[in-house]
Structure 1
């Protein structure tokens, strides 16, 4: 059974910011949007890009490698890459679009806690 693990504090983030946190052998992306906090695997499911080095607009994180986009609210893949035409067709055949794994977050005092799924 998974339990909540402290990954950072509310002082570590500000609205519209994100950071990478190490939890055991995993990298977790933590983001603040307004008063809410979000957590997801930090590595892009497309080609393993470091999402914490990407951009955040609202709840949409964009990978710095091929500009894949994911909604941190539910992990939905909004855009698999910014490629087009035949390059996009071949890329999706080789590695079909997958959602970003998201994790449950709760705040206790100033601690940001994440419940990691499998």
Structure 2
């Protein structure tokens, strides 16, 4: 079963901006590029970084904690951590690259709705 939840209005998020919204116990990232909106978990699947505090480049979000990059279209890992040497080896041993959970977005009557799996 799926459910569409209103999280914001289109005027609340400017082009090139990202914000986090609470939906129940989840923190959902809403990002906007032009007239396109993306939704994903706001928590980085690696080190738990707050992705809304990261950077947005097109439909790519960069974690502010360790610079991993994710595609907001499908959640794929584009780059897994910029740490080098021993730190990278330890990080890779602890956690393997994991995709970011993304959600469909519906714009209706100026409202941003996120479609969640129940």
TM-score bracket, normalised by the shorter chain, equals over 0.9
1:85 aligns with 2:98: no
Question: Once the 2 structures are TM-superposed, how far is the Cα of residue 84 of structure 1 from its aligned partner?
Answer: 1.7
Gapped runs of 5+ residues in structure 1? none
Question: Larger deviation: 31-40 or 80-89?
Answer: 80-89
Where in structure 2 are there 5+ consecutive unaligned residues?
none
Write the deviation string for residues 49-79 of structure 1: whole angstroms up to 9, x where unpaired: 0000111011111111111110101101111
Counterpart of 1:55 in structure 2 is: 55
RMSD: 1.0
Provide the TM-score with structure 2 as the length reference: 0.95
Q: Deviation of residue 94 (structure 1)? A: 1.0
CA contact (8 A) 2:3 2:117 kept: no
Aligned residue pairs, count? 118
TM-score, normalising length from structure 1? Answer: 0.95
